[in-house]
Chain A
Amino acid sequence: MEPDRRLAPAQFTEASLQVFVMCGLLALLVFVTGWWNPQFLSAYSLRSVLRDTAIWSLFALGQAIVIISGGIDLSVGSLIAFVGVLALMLLGDDFGLALPTVLVIVSSFAVFVGVLHGSLICGLNLQPFLVTLCSLLILRGLARVMTHDRTVSFDAGEHALLRTLGAGSLCGVPIPVFILAGALVPLGFFMHHTVPGRYLYAIGSNVDAARYSGVRVNALRIVSYALCSLLTAVAAVLEAGDVASVPPSNAGLAYEMYGITGAVLGGCSLRGGQGSLLGVVVGMATLRVIKSVVIFFNLSTYWTFAVTGLVLLAAVVVDSLVRARSQSR
């Protein structure tokens, strides 16, 4: 029989359709907002949207990898605060380390946290929700203890490189966008074109069947948590560079929820086994644009959360209706 080449493997068609729909929605949002208030399309505003999207997408990608493999990571926001504080303290006068050294240290720490999450979850069979909830509390607490709850900042002149990484632009495009691209390409390749990546989908769909099939379930789940923490640490450093300071009690607050929202908008299912990384970036861009929409429509910024929640709810409801329709056919 002639192989049917018109169709890509099942999970890709569905995910790419969702990405397509989300892109349409995003374009619509941008268009309508720009039409209502042309200020939105100014270079400054667009650059800030791009920068935030890029930084947020980094940890959302990590979250998505964890969610695809059937887990969840609630510690993202606290890890952002902790890593931000840690990086700035190491750079500061007390330690006076160079930026590359600091990057190595915070990345290693993040990987350690991720491996710890994964090991507790797989080794002791603890629930991901609980383990990472504990980290959410512990890391936030430690960040505040280390700084005596005082905002840590750095001198932009002295640490120009860090400042440029977070806030600078190249040819008019914010630097974080390049960093995101640099992460997205290998991660996308990993998830969609390598065997371990494919296994992460299998684990998320049915962990027992994957284990019976000889997939190294535990090792891969640990890798997923490590990747998530690592990407979060990168986002933390960029965010610190952008804002030039890290308030330990506020930095990264509720970012885990941003990450989860972005992943779901981008087509991930919290049941695991579904989603594409490109979709997550689109989802995150949508999230960021909604934030701007609230501002440019002259609503109080207090509306941001409510509007975001409504959009997510609408997305989930529409998705489930479409799914029910396509299954009944």
Chain B
Amino acid sequence: MLCDKCGKKSATVHIKQVINGKQTEQHLCADCAGGAVDVQMPSFGSLDLHKLFWGTPAADVRRPKICPGCGISWAEAAKGGRLGCARCYAAFADELRPQVAQMHGGKRHIGKVKMLNPTAQVLLQDSALANKNYERLALQKQLGELVDLEKFEEAAAVRDKIRSLEAELQQAVQQANAADQKAGDER
């Protein structure tokens, strides 16, 4: 193969460049290669510490992800270190998962739960029951882990424990409700 540039000597230097996905090839002789090789080094820019901390989501460069709740973009939220609203957690779940895991060790919430039903009132008044509720939450978390590890036998034992705790809690709630009703009737 002759040199692309002078067309006289045989080409001994072969250069393949891929810049922004566009591939170019050059075949040069040793003489021409000395001056003509134009190797472009892309600039990496300065390091952004925020990006290092938050990670760089590759996907949203072209199509910015926007939270439907508050209209904040992931880039903006990541830059400020704060989300725009509670719905951001669902909107940016993929981006947040590794970060939350890094911050908190990948654990699940096992603390106080939001009061959703009348059971909570009873759980508040009786600390023994509240503890049982916490235990139930902790076991639920354990159950998830065991299933992930495919330890089905242990998982089944934990599931049974959860069921018995749930039954106990249910019963306590019913008793409390009945007592309330009775008190109401007497009045």
A binds B: no
Residues on B lying within 8 angstroms of A by beta carbon are none
